[in-house]
Amino acid sequence: MPRYKQIPRPAICQRVFAGLAPMVLMSGLLTGCSPQPTAEPAAVVKPPLPVTTMVLRRGRPDIQRHTTGSIAPWKTEQIGFEQAGRVEFVIEPNVMVRPSAVDEPSPGGTPLARLDDERLRIAVESATADVSVARLRRDANRIAIDERLPAAITVAKAERDLADTERARAEKLDQQNAISSSELDNARTRANTAQAQLASAEADLLQAKAEQLTFEAQVAKAEHELAEAERNLQNSVLTSSFPGIVSEIHAVPGSYVDAGEPVVSVQMVDPMLVEFEVTAKNSRRYHAGDSLQVIVGDDPENLRKIDGLVYTVDTTADARSRTFTITLHVRNEVQEVVLPESLDGAPLAYTRNIFPLNLGPIITGDDRQLVERSTIHQIGDQAYVYRITNRKWGMSTVAEDRTLDVERVPVKVTGEPIPFLGAWNFVTVEFDSSAEIDFQQDLITGELYLPRSASDQDDAAALPASNVGQSPVPEDWNGTQVILDKPRWLLRAGDVVRVGLLPEKMSEGFYVPMKAVRKEKEQTFVHVIDESQSPPRAHRVPVSVAVREAVTGDSVMLRITPTQPGNLSEGIQVVVGGTHYLDDGDRVRITPALGAAR
């Protein structure tokens, strides 16, 4: 190893000065080579770092996850007639319908469609006549059995007895040679004939009794044919077997339909189904009757939460997604019209329809003044329609504005009802000359109803709830505002909702937010607070994380286990916010930022 000779500092300075003498112009630079004392750097003290913490608790959290579900009708049916015929009437879409009550003697449900029943009525009349003829034949034969034939048998017996007596007398006289042989033969012939007539009368009675069974069968057949004809006539009016709403029509008045051909589609609206998909593993956690929460709506400030019961769990997975469908039953409800506070206490009526006044070219092909018959309200001897003053034909309206300002306009009916598509009846009217009517722009209300009272609810129990009552406005109603309302259901087929899945039970342990766990140089750790010092200090505690047991909710929670038993215990504080800026032993300042923070 080379050795170096140590040269004293003054000698070094002399050599440096000699080499730099030609370049140095200022004498003050020479003083820089003199030895100067150096100060030790001051120690830097880091201020306490702000952190947020949580108190560590051992537990088993419930995982509440949500998934997307879709609304579907529970029952949907395409309804058609049992016999072919020409359609006379078809209901309009989006109309609420109810079925016939079980104890009703005749169909009392909402008519969905009706066939031209002239042919069916003729069939009923013909079958009725056939029943009458069959009954008369049966009754006539019964009279023959009970009266005529027994009398004929009695006469035949009497004639037989007389003939037998005459034959015996003739035979006695023949023995005395008092009569000729021909007279004896005549007596014997009359006796045999009388006996044959008696046998014939008795045979007629037996035949009549046998024919009575035939006549009874003919009566039964005629009655069955009459019942079939009456049933066909009754079934010329189509009704639904369950309450619901008309979702689609497949025929129009005037069209010809075959037996079984769909005419109207009806779907049940209460209850509805909610369908969602789960994995094969999760599908085994659901059983019929389990209760889940369904969240309806897109606006976070206007969400509706309703309860649903598990109805079915598919037994076969979808071939493409390999998932199982869970089906819930949920109750539906009608969305009520929210009235502005300014209308509190006002005499309000309701209507379901609005009609324009320029319908003449559509109905009759001319410019006559036509209104639907239900729009006319008879008050005393005067007929009125209610003209809308705050809406015009072609005017855009606000969705939330359902209030109509109306005024009475006197009219005079001048024509007979004109049916249109089997659903409406229009009449020709003349408006009062003092009324300023714009037939191209003005609108009138349909039939007016009063709000439903509590006593009306029982009468309409079979019909889905509605805010519209069933009683027309009285003659003394003098209101000027009408609410345009049709039942609108909260849940509709095809809507998307969120479904709260069944909570999953996790393993017991320490669960912390994901951001509380830090990984550095292949080591995973959390920072715990040591409050024995002032200010508190954060110390690293190595942990292991059960990744497969992560809890996903508003935030991801991880289950941690200390690598050295005993390093974590309940009640200590774990750093959540700010852990990624800490070193082991750093001083900290705890700030309350979490609900579970100190």
**What is the CB neighbour count within 10 angstroms for residue 547?**
8
The residue that leads in pLDDT, 347 or 166, is: 166
Average pLDDT, the chain: 81
pLDDT band at 394 (very low <50, low <70, confident <90, very high): confident
Q: For residues 358 and 373, give the distance between their C-alpha atoms in angstroms, rounded to a whole number.
A: 15
**SS3 (DSSP) at 513:** strand
Mean pLDDT computed over 366-378: 85
Segment among 319-323, 460-464, 514-518 with least mean pLDDT: 460-464
Note the pLDDT of residue 552: 65
Note the pLDDT of residue 229: 92
Sign of CA dihedral 372, 377, 382, 388: negative
Q: What is the pTM of this model?
A: 0.64
pLDDT band at 220 (very low <50, low <70, confident <90, very high): very high
Segment among 284-288, 496-500, 555-559 with least mean pLDDT: 555-559
Assess whether pLDDT exceeds 70 at residue 34.
no
Assess whether pLDDT exceeds 70 at residue 388.
yes
Assess whether pLDDT exceeds 80 at residue 455.
no
Assess whether pLDDT exceeds 80 at residue 457.
no
pLDDT band at 451 (very low <50, low <70, confident <90, very high): low
Residue 507 gets which letter from DSSP? Answer: P
Note the pLDDT of residue 482: 85
Note the pLDDT of residue 281: 86
Assess whether pLDDT exceeds 70 at residue 207.
yes
- CB under 8 Å to 192, separation ≥6 — which residues? 163
pLDDT band at 17 (very low <50, low <70, confident <90, very high): very low
The residue that leads in pLDDT, 35 or 16, is: 35
Note the pLDDT of residue 198: 87
Assess whether pLDDT exceeds 50 at residue 52.
yes
The domain locations on the chain are: 50-60+506-590, 119-234, 341-484
Closest Cα partner for 548 from 577, 506, 490?
506
| Domain spanning 50-60+506-590, CATH architecture | Beta Barrel (2.40)
Note the pLDDT of residue 598: 34
Mean pLDDT computed over 331-348: 78
Mean pLDDT computed over 332-347: 76
pLDDT band at 458 (very low <50, low <70, confident <90, very high): very low
Distance of CA 15 to the CA centre of its chain: 105
pLDDT band at 38 (very low <50, low <70, confident <90, very high): low
pLDDT band at 256 (very low <50, low <70, confident <90, very high): very high
CB 430 within 8 A of CB 452: no
Assess whether pLDDT exceeds 80 at residue 532.
yes
Segment 513-524, tens digit of pLDDT: 899 999 888 899
Residue 536 gets which letter from DSSP? Answer: -
CA separation (Å) from 163 to 21, 180, 371, 546? Answer: 193, 18, 91, 124
Q: Give, rounded to a whole angstrom, the gap between the first and last alpha carbons of the chain.
A: 65
CA separation (Å) from 320 to 280, 375, 424? Answer: 13, 55, 49
Segment among 132-136, 293-297, 420-424, 535-539 with least mean pLDDT: 420-424
Assess whether pLDDT exceeds 90 at residue 371.
no
Note the pLDDT of residue 573: 92
Assess whether pLDDT exceeds 60 at residue 465.
no
Segment 57-105, tens digit of pLDDT: 988 776 667 889 999 999 999 999 998 999 998 998 888 888 877 666 5
Percent of the chain with pLDDT over 90: 22
pLDDT band at 503 (very low <50, low <70, confident <90, very high): low
DSSP strand E in 438-522: where? Answer: 443-445, 448-451, 468-472, 481-484, 496-500, 504-505, 509-513, 518-520
Cα-atom radius of gyration of the chain, to the nearest Å? 51
Mean pLDDT computed over 216-234: 92
Note the pLDDT of residue 30: 37
Closest Cα partner for 501 from 62, 73, 59, 61?
62
